[in-house]
Structure 1
């Protein structure tokens, strides 16, 4: 079992969120669902905690009520090996009320912030030539969903 587990607080859609997330990543699954009992504070029988794995990493999702909400101070960053993966995740996570943000950031319909980042970005920004890296950063700052071709074009611009 992993020593540190990300714990996510939802109002009342933890099971729906876990189902979406596990459908998007290989090696993902719902591990268990715990329900509120007579002691509450939730309605007896309703979902309290969903334990799930994304790409083998364990998460807990609580239906804790509206007291706390997500914000951009915490995000889930996904390393994507291709533009197709970036596009697929961007489409699925912004669907049904999600919101696009700048520089590869988005909020899903539950309010969770994600960074959908192509692996190629770090390779280009990390070039020993700082001028090339800065051109890539400037291009990224003008994007919402990150486009590998646009980043590579900025890198190669003279």
Structure 2
């Protein structure tokens, strides 16, 4: 086997023409985020010369690229970003920001106004859903199935049978 280094993998998000708007929105929502580079279409096309082709950006320590490639490939729920939140306050913040103009789905999933799917999940939820007590975990799962935005206190109460 040849000696190869570990490659940097950067997710690319395909937009029709609003990639720069989406990036501006995401950078405004997530702290410690920034645009790192923007490229533009030339006369070679296929987009209008001078319009945004790609935007490289960082959401925290995650590097991504938005590409304005046309309407051929819409987002689906097959790909989503999971936001692991420290507490309910963070869950509420990200849920409110990302559903503004978007839509609530179920079990902590949402679609933002650009059609990208997100999972907004509080730390500790996995312990309630996969804990040592199978009956308690089932109660927590059943509680989660009735939620759109995750309510950690309600999951904990279901787990504890309160």
Separation (CA, whole Å) in 1 of partners of 2:20 and 2:133 = 46
Decide which structure has the larger Cα Rg and report it. Answer: 2
1:57 paired to 2:62: yes
1:131 paired to 2:135: yes
Task: Find the counterpart in structure 2 of residue 157 from structure 1.
Answer: 161
- Deviation, structure 1 residue 120: 2.1
78, 85, 88: which one aligns with 2:90: 85
RMSD: 1.4
Separation (CA, whole Å) in 2 of partners of 1:25 and 1:149 = 24
107, 111, 129: which one aligns with 2:115: 111
The two structures have a TM-score, normalised by structure 2, of 0.93
- After the TM superposition, which segments of 4 or more aligned residues of structure 1 sit over 6 Å from their partners? none
- Deviation, structure 1 residue 147: 0.5
The two structures have a TM-score, normalised by structure 1, of 0.95
Separation (CA, whole Å) in 1 of partners of 2:154 and 2:46 = 50
1:8 paired to 2:4: no
- Could you tell me which runs of 5 or more consecutive residues in structure 2 were left unpaired when the two chains were aligned: 1-5
- Equivalenced residue count is 157
C-alpha offsets along residues 85-127 of structure 1, whole Å, 9 cap, x if unaligned? 111111111112x010010000000000000011121121232
- Deviation, structure 1 residue 24: 1.7
- Deviation, structure 1 residue 35: 0.6
The answer (yes or no) to whether the contact 1:35–1:46 under 8 Å persists in 2 is: yes
Task: Find the counterpart in structure 1 of residue 152 from structure 2.
Answer: 148
Separation (CA, whole Å) in 1 of partners of 2:97 and 2:29 = 8
19, 35, 38: which one aligns with 1:33: 38
